Structure formats: C-alpha cells, structure tokens
Amino acid sequence: MNKRRSFITISISALMAVSILVLCLLTFQTNHKVFFDAAVNQTLETIHVIRDLGVEKVESQIKNLKMDVEGQIKEHHDILLHGSQMEQADALSNMLLPEDGIDYVLANSDGTMLDAKGNIINWKNELDLNEAFKNKNTSVIEPDFTSDQQYVFAIASPLLENGKIKSLLVIRLDGFCISHWLESIQFDTGEGTAYIVRKDGRNIASAREENYDWITTKYNAQEIKDQDEESKTVADLEAQALNGKTGYGSYLWEGSRNYLTYAPIKETGWGLYVGFYGELMNNFIEQSAGRSMISSAPFFIILAAFLILLYSYTNYNLKKEKQYANELLLQKKEIQQQAEDIKMNEERFRVALAQTNNILFEYDLQTGGITKFYTTKIKQITSSLNDLKEQIFMNGELDDESLEKLQKMLLETRKGIYDNECTIKVMYSNGKFAWYKVSISPLSEQRKRVIGIMKDITKEKLGELDPLTGLLNKRVMNEKTAAYLQKIQEQETCALLIFDIDDFKNINDQFGHPEGDKVIMKTGNYLKQVFKDNAYVGRIGGDEYCVFCFNISKEALEGKLRCFYQEAFRNEKKYITFSCGVVFGHHLRNITFEELYKQSDQALYKAKHQGKNQYCIQEIASLKQ
C-alpha cells in the first residue's frame, strides 16, 4: 500500500514537473511578444521625444535671437534713428554677435542697407525684407542663398518713429546655424535624421551634414509631388506640420518603408521632421527585444528549477507545498510590480531632470563624502571635496571662492545646519560661465545622508552682468550701491570711483574694435583683481567703469589705486592709461547714487583736464549737510 502511494506521489510529482517545464517554455515564448511590443512602444516614445526636443531647441534659439536684436535696438535706439552714417556704423560694429553670426546691418525701405564698415549695400540682392517692412514686430527672414551663393539666415526688428517703420535692424547669420542646432540631437534609434522645411516646402536645415545637399539643391517635395507616388506621400506628410499638425506616419521610398514624425515650429511657421529608415529601425527593435529576452532567460531557468524542487516534496505534504507555491507566485508578482514601479519612477526622474540644468548629489554625513550624482554633466564620481574643483563638471571647473563656499556649507550640514545655501560659479573651457544655487535637504529621518540640490541660476545671474566683461551692469551697480547707502552707519567710510580709458577711440581706430574689446575685458579683470574685497565693480557703458568701496580707509583706497595704475597693462605692448574720479567720505547715508556719481564725474573731469593718466580724489562728509 505504501509502495503504491509512493508510486502515485512520484508520478504526480513527475507529471507536475513536466507540466511546469512546458508552462515555462510557453511563458518564455509569450514574453518574447511582450518584450517586442514594449520595445516598439519605447522606440516610438523615443522618436517623439527627439522630435519635441528639436522643436523646443529651434524655438528657443529663435526667441533668443529676437531678444538679442530687440535689446540692441533699445541700447542704440537714438543713434540708429538719428545718428550720422559714421555713428550708425560704429554702433553696428559694437553690437555683440552670437555664435554663427555674420554681422548687424541697418536696412532702409529704399532698398539700401548700411553695414558695420560703413558700406552701403542693396539689400534686395541679399535679403527679402519686403514683408518685414510691413510688420511692426520682429520678423524671421527665412534662410536663402544670396547673389554670391552665401547661405544666410536673418532676424529683422523695426525701428519706429511716430508709429511708422523708418528702418530695420537686421542680424545676419550663417544659414547652416539652424542645422547646427539640430546636430546635438541623438539618432541611435534606426539611423534617424532630423530636418526642417520652411513654409513653401523647401528644405532649409538638416541634422546630418551628409544631407546638406537637400539644402544646396533647394529640394522641395511640394514642387515634385506630382512626379510619382513616393514623392506625393512624403509631400503630404510634410504638409501636415506646415498646417500646424503634430503626428507621425510612414511612406515607401525605393521599395522600403520608412517612418516620419513631424511637428510645427510655431515661432516661424516651419515644420520639423524626424525620419527613420524602416529596416534599420526594425532591426533596432528586434535587437532591443532580444536583449531583454536574453537577460530574462536565467530568471526563467532558476524559476523552473525552483518549482521542480518545490513539487518534489509533495510526497511529504502535497497540500502544504501547493499552498506555499501559491504564496511564492504571489510574492513574485508583487516583486515584479515593485520593480516595474521603481523602473518607471527612475525613468520619470531621469526625464524630468533632463529637462532642467539642475544637478542633484547625495552627501554622507558620517564620512563627509559625496556618494552619488544625478546628472549627465558630471565628469566622474568623486568622494573627496578636494577633487570637486576640477572633477565635478564636464569641461569646467569651480573657482577657489566657490569651492570654499561649498566646503563650508557641507561642513555646517555635518554639524546639523540644514537651512543654509550658497551660490557657486563654474567656468567652462569655452570661456562661458554658469551659476548654481546649492541647497541641502535631509534624505531620511535618520539623517545619515542628505540631498544636495544645485539649481541652475545662470539666466538670472547673466541679467545682472555686463556681457563683455562679466562685471555688474549699470542697473545692478546702481541698485547695490543705493541699497548699501540706505543702511550705512554714521562712522562708516565709502568711496565711489569712476574709471575712463584715456583716448579709447584711438585704440579702436589704430588696432580695430576686436582689440578694443580685449582692452575693455582686460581692464575689467584688473579692476576685479585689485578691488576684490568690500567692493562692487561694474561697467556702466563704453570704456567707463564704476567701483563702489565700503569699510575702507583713505590710505587703503589710495594704495589700491596705486596698485591698479602700476599693474594694469604693465606687460602689454600697447600703451594704455586711465583717468579716475573719486569721491571719498563717511556718513553718506542720505546721499543717492546719482549724487555720488555726479561728484565722481566732476573729479574725473578734473583728472582729464590736468593731463589724464591720473586720479583725482574729492573728500566729502555729506552732500546733504
């Protein structure tokens, strides 16, 4: 009887083991379809993200260019409207050009335009500005080839007088700059490419240089759509974006089915398209699904072996083991769901973080080391604060002052102070700067680790700085000085200094405006080096600088002035001198910035009148007394 029962039990166990193996194989085959469908959906989402990133990049660049031109009009409005031809040309030459910029020109409705060298050109041979002269808003001049086959893209903003357009300030750029904007978009999926079509259907930009012949040959699918069915299908898809629609579709080209996703660029009325070769994209999807299946195969093997072992014990307690197996299956589903939730949350976090320039890091309060960064900008992970200066940012480094601020804040965090923050500055290898506001938030109740949040505040900072020198601009200089004068104590001393480069116009005339710009930048650097403590340093226009010093004695002030006059341009071949007007005093609480500026300007005039290359100090107590 026992042998018979044992035989039945073993038979049932063997039958269940075989059934489980068959079930695993079927599950493996079913999951292949699931992985394939998931790879398809993920690929489509990636394509749409690429398209949307391209639209966002182009619209952002166009808006920035419009703001640049409008800003130049605000700065040079009177000269551009009423100045002489030489004054207008000089203003045009002093306007800062963006990357890929060619020049600024002043266009008149009679068909002529003035360039930065003072030349008069017929714009009708170079640009189509007819519609821009009818539009009181800033216009986008679509890229086209000039009479000398130069590919030019332009932004035109009107100069109004009595409500009428008198002329246009136009910035001309290399027409391929739009293609350069698209080059940063990645196309690993299906060997894709992005391109842009203007309102009439002509190709004007491409993310891949090998497709630039679409631009140079002025390819226009709308003009040849009646030649064959393939061209008509492409033209119809491109027309969707030009009509303001967003979507995707497929078309046959040379016997192969390809895919195209499209969206309108609302800022210009153009259409942006991301195309993928069908066969290559299908291979990419198959490979993605295959990699997922291969990575999951050990899991199914282990699961099958575990279930076979589990059911081999049914001769001891079949009912109990069955119940145990059901509990394991339930736990498995919960674990899989948790894993999917974690993966989805990580993906959401990655996508959200990628839409900003912010950086997150984890800081271990026990070891005092940074354990993990969350950003693509980090060059490498480091646990040493001493390594932060050169390793925290890709192609950039922290200056010593910023590193000291960050170290101090993290040290205070280890002492239990969590509500502090600091601002750090990063300099990149291309000469550009970025600013981040760093704050701390506890990661858990045990407070063994904290999260550091580095928020990108570059745009706000750049709004406070002069773009050429990096010094404070006139507005911020005025605000900071005025704010300090309101809270100054009775016995506190302060000084306002105005520097002017002697005969700066001769420098521009003799060496050219680029060299003049270098003199302006170097002067700013010398001033920052000398007046780095208890001072605000700013550029208030042209070759004029302003320095406000506080908590400084007259002797210390004269020491800094002597240092500046001795060190500035000492090793330069060019002979550069400066005149400086200084107002020094104490108890200046009731004095405005404008009054101090007026007194300093008078002292500057005196220094100029006495022969230049010197400073003149006027000592006062209070202008209100």
**323 CB-near residues (< 8 Å, 6+ apart):** none
- The pLDDT value recorded for residue 252 is 78
Mean local confidence (pLDDT), 596-611: 93
Point out the least confidently predicted range of 96-105, 175-184, 293-302, 464-473: 293-302
End-to-end CA separation in angstroms for the chain:
122
Computed over every residue of the chain, the mean pLDDT equals 80
pLDDT digits (tens, 9 = 90+) for 262-313: 999 998 999 999 887 666 556 655 665 555 556 655 655 665 566 566 556 5
Asked if pLDDT for residue 625 goes beyond 50, the answer is no
- The pLDDT value recorded for residue 294 is 61
Asked if pLDDT for residue 86 goes beyond 90, the answer is yes
Percentage of the chain exceeding pLDDT 90: 34
Point out the least confidently predicted range of 50-64, 85-99, 346-360: 346-360
Mean local confidence (pLDDT), 353-357: 62
Spatial CA neighbour of 586 closest among 558, 551, 615? 551
pLDDT digits (tens, 9 = 90+) for 138-159: 999 999 998 888 899 999 999 9
- Tell me the C-alpha distance between 460 and 435, whole Å: 9
Point out the least confidently predicted range of 6-20, 84-98, 268-282, 584-598: 6-20
Whole-model pTM: value is: 0.43
Given its phi and psi angles, is residue 534 left (phi above 0), alpha (psi -120 to 50 degrees) or beta?
A: left
- Tell me the C-alpha distance between 517 and 512, whole Å: 9
Exposure class string for 385-422: b at 16+ Cβ within 10 A, else e: beebeebbbeebbbeeebbebbeebbeebeeeeeeeeb
Residue that wins the pLDDT comparison between 431 and 548:
548
pLDDT digits (tens, 9 = 90+) for 31-52: 555 555 565 566 667 778 888 8
- The pLDDT value recorded for residue 41 is 65
- Tell me the C-alpha distance between 196 and 269, whole Å: 11
Mean local confidence (pLDDT), 54-58: 89
pLDDT digits (tens, 9 = 90+) for 357-371: 677 777 777 776 776
Mean local confidence (pLDDT), 340-358: 66
- Tell me the C-alpha distance between 114 and 76, whole Å: 15
**248 CB-near residues (< 8 Å, 6+ apart):** 44, 47, 48, 259, 260, 261, 262
> pLDDT class for 322, splitting at 50, 70, 90?
low
Mean local confidence (pLDDT), 51-58: 88
- Tell me the C-alpha distance between 493 and 587, whole Å: 7
| Helices (H), ranges, 470-592 | 474-487, 504-511, 513-530, 554-567
- The pLDDT value recorded for residue 488 is 83
- The pLDDT value recorded for residue 379 is 47
Mean local confidence (pLDDT), 497-524: 92
Asked if pLDDT for residue 520 goes beyond 80, the answer is yes
- The pLDDT value recorded for residue 535 is 93
* Domains, in order of start, for the chain: 359-459 (3.30.450.20), 474-620 (3.30.70.270)
- The pLDDT value recorded for residue 421 is 82
> What is the dihedral angle through the alpha carbons of 267, 171, 73, 596, rounded to the nearest 10 degrees?
120
Residue that wins the pLDDT comparison between 450 and 493:
493
- The pLDDT value recorded for residue 165 is 92
Mean local confidence (pLDDT), 159-166: 90
For the beta carbon of residue 321, count every other beta carbon within 10 angstroms.
Answer: 17
- Half-sphere exposure in the Cβ direction for 7 (13 Å, CA): 4
Per-residue three-class SS string for 1-32 = CHHHHHHHHHHHHHHHHHHHHHHHHHHHHHHH
Mean local confidence (pLDDT), 195-205: 92
Q: Are 215 and 198 contacting, i.e. CB atoms less than 8 angstroms apart?
A: no
Per-residue three-class SS string for 525-548 = HHHHHHCCCCEEEEEEECCEEEEE
Residue that wins the pLDDT comparison between 187 and 398:
398
pLDDT digits (tens, 9 = 90+) for 230-259: 788 888 888 999 999 999 888 777 777 788
- Tell me the C-alpha distance between 621 and 624, whole Å: 9
Point out the least confidently predicted range of 19-33, 209-223, 250-264: 19-33
> pLDDT class for 490, splitting at 50, 70, 90?
confident
- The pLDDT value recorded for residue 438 is 85
Asked if pLDDT for residue 399 goes beyond 90, the answer is no
Q: Are 449 and 365 contacting, i.e. CB atoms less than 8 angstroms apart?
A: yes
> pLDDT class for 124, splitting at 50, 70, 90?
confident
pLDDT digits (tens, 9 = 90+) for 572-592: 777 889 999 999 987 777 788
